Structure 1
């Protein structure tokens, strides 16, 4: 089960996919979880796949052709069913095998890669769906327990040094380079791990959203462990 002890009431659990897509975010709730314990050997899918990049996109047709044991086939069927459900809903899911994401070292004091706590942004109404089948899972933090980095005076002052334009254009500059999407957790704050096997719907920053977007980050890979992820 998902640990809700430090989620600040931002998480609501549901019992099936239909409830996941039909339940709306309200109040503090900006993360919906279809809490699941999955059977099958998901690591076998990683082992049998051809991995040539740090992030390998596994197409459903390729996944269907992998020679797998019965446990591997069970895992494959779960992934393909999740993929099918999300496609039917109108989403654009992708199946990824992740060694690691690219790190942002352009601004050492302000990385904008996915290992930094951030929110997703879209010009149209949408949500982020994700499930980690194998490997370390993502983490989220309650909005009340994190500060937008561009509002932290010392960070804002450093960013001003990068801005060559007029003062009235500074906020547009921050948005253009995605600085406004990143957050810094407050001291001694605990995070919620999204867990393996759970399918999540996270609120995105959109013009019409009536809740705060969900602040999340990708896990730092441990011991060169690959991660099998469905995301859209």
Structure 2
């Protein structure tokens, strides 16, 4: 098991898929990691896939069409198994070949793209699953090491100017445009990188959740390198 994760009070570390889906979030733990050291050549898969847009969804058929070495086949089997495991529990996993996400540069005082620390919100009881098979991997951060951006005075003031409506509707405005989902890391914050090959389950903001939602962000991609990411 990865000591970096097991020593972190935010992270629960497990050794099987069954444990991953059945371990309850509690206290400060809002991220569960199935810690894995995957065998296989995931780079070979990435090198053969075709990027059609900055984010290209890869189907099972796309994977099966690849002509792979023994190590490439091993990597493909791992991905296919992960997709099946998640599908079997009612999730809708997506495999993405990713050059980069769209940047939000509309406002100079607040960023609301996935490179910003944020939480996911859902109206139903669900969790976020993700695994980076190749390329740069995401970060999470403890809730006590971040501040909600809408509570930062200068940001809040500019959002009020942007809203330009009745005070009673301001909080609704913040939610409607997802400003309330984004966070600023404190000066002494220490993000945790999720690593390659580990399958993660992150707590989402929804009414039945008993813990705080997991704050996370997408990584800045490595130059000239695509990411291969499973997410749902």
Q: TM-score, normalised by structure 1?
A: 0.97
1:1-232 matches, within 5 Å, as 1=2, 3-4=4-5, 7=8, 9-232=9-232
CA RMSD of aligned residues (A): 1.1
What is the DSSP-based 3-state SS (H/G/I as helix, E as strand, rest coil) of the residue aligned with 1:38?
A: coil
Using the TM superposition, give the Cα deviation of residue 181 of structure 1 relative to its aligned residue in structure 2, in angstroms: 0.1
What is the DSSP-based 3-state SS (H/G/I as helix, E as strand, rest coil) of the residue aligned with 1:3?
A: helix
What is the DSSP-based 3-state SS (H/G/I as helix, E as strand, rest coil) of the residue aligned with 1:200?
A: strand
Using the TM superposition, give the Cα deviation of residue 188 of structure 1 relative to its aligned residue in structure 2, in angstroms: 2.3
Q: Which digits, 9 at most, give the CA deviation of each residue in 1:23-51, with x for residues without a partner?
A: 11011110000000001110111111111
Question: Which structure 2 segments of 5+ residues have no match?
Answer: none
Q: Which digits, 9 at most, give the CA deviation of each residue in 1:147-175, with x for residues without a partner?
A: 01101111100111100220010000000
Contact 1:2 1:195 in 2 (8 A): no
Distance (Å, rounded) in 2 between the aligned partners of 1:224 and 1:107: 28
Contact 1:6 1:190 in 2 (8 A): no
Contact 1:2 1:35 in 2 (8 A): no
Question: Which structure 1 segments of 5+ residues have no match?
Answer: none
Q: TM-score, normalised by structure 2?
A: 0.97
Distance (Å, rounded) in 2 between the aligned partners of 1:41 and 1:158: 48
After superposition, the Cα gap between the structure-2 partners of 1:2 and 1:46, relative to the gap in structure 1 and judged at 3 Å, is farther
What is the DSSP-based 3-state SS (H/G/I as helix, E as strand, rest coil) of the residue aligned with 2:104?
A: coil
Q: Which digits, 9 at most, give the CA deviation of each residue in 1:101-125, with x for residues without a partner?
A: 0000111221110000000000000
